[in-house]
Structure formats: C-alpha cells, structure tokens
Amino acid sequence: MLSNDLLQDVMPLVESIYRIKTNRDQRAIIGLSMGGGQSLRIGMTHRDLFAWVGGMSSFLPDADKFVPQAFPDSKSNLKLLWFACGKDDRLVDNARQLSTALKERGIQHQFEETAGNHSWPVWRRYLAEFAPLLFQERK
C-alpha cells in the first residue's frame, strides 16, 4: 500500500536525516492528480500525523463511502482540508462528489472550482494559493 511507503519508509528516513518538527500541527500533505487523491486519503485517515491536507485535481473514488469511514463520528481535527479542481478537468465531478460527501458529514473544508484543466499551470496556481494557508491559525 502506498501509504505504508510514505508513513513507514519516507517519513522516518526524512526525520532521521533532517532536523524537522514532527508533530501533526507542523505537518502538511498535498499532491496533484493521482498523488492528490493519495494525499487526501492519507491525510484524512491519518489526522494524528497531518493537520493540513490538500489535493489538486485529485481523484478519490467512492467519496460517499470513503468520507464516512474517514470521519465516522463526523468530527475533524484538521486545521485545513483544501482541494481544488478546474471546471475543464476530467476529475471535476469527482471533486464535487467529495465536497458533497464532506458537507453531508458536516466536515469543514475548502473546495475551489476554478477555470482550467488537468495541467501544470493550473496546479502551479493552486500551490501558490494553498501554501500561504499552511501553519496559520484560523478562526
């Protein structure tokens, strides 16, 4: 499973080499396309490790089944759950479904539906929008 690679191999290696903060409040995860779906899945199911979660043009199948599993008590301790998708992106319907499933569970999140398609210029804008939101206390 890909989450095992990140959680059991990559993160411990990075933490052993670099002097970084390892508490969840100082840890974020975001990805794009397939990696965006993986980032959302990992971040939402490992809220003990990540407080800031994002996805860009992400594919997360079966959101209506996944969201209740990830948030069984309809509570989220995420500081930010953010995802975006372009209106001309083939994955926009999937992003809309995720947003609907989160709303139905009462999970606070930000979903940005923007101009654009499944391409690097769109993701570059998303990263520029997401990055300043990280590690900021929100009201």
* pLDDT for the residue numbered 1: 57
Average pLDDT, the chain: 95
Percentage, residues of the chain above pLDDT 70: 97
Confirm whether 116 is domain-assigned.
Answer: yes
* pLDDT for the residue numbered 86: 98
Q: What's the number of domains the chain is made of?
A: 1
Structure tokens at 14: 């990075």
* pLDDT for the residue numbered 67: 97
Percentage, residues of the chain above pLDDT 90: 93
| CATH number of the CATH domain containing 60 | 3.40.50.1820
Amino acid at the residue 114: T
Question: Which residues constitute the domain of residue 101?
Answer: 24-133
Q: Which residues on adjacent β-strands are paired with residue 81?
A: 53
pTM: 0.94
Confirm whether 2 is domain-assigned.
Answer: no
* Burial label, 11 (beta-carbon count in 10 A; 0-12, 13-18, 19+): middle
Confirm whether 138 is domain-assigned.
Answer: no
Q: Residues 79-137: pLDDT tens digits?
A: 999 999 999 999 999 999 999 999 999 999 999 999 999 999 999 999 999 999 999 87
Q: What are phi and psi of 27, to 5 degrees?
A: -130, 130
Confirm whether 34 is domain-assigned.
Answer: yes
Confirm whether 15 is domain-assigned.
Answer: no
Residues 6+ apart with CB under 8 A from 28: 50, 51, 52, 53, 54, 134, 135
Confirm whether 5 is domain-assigned.
Answer: no
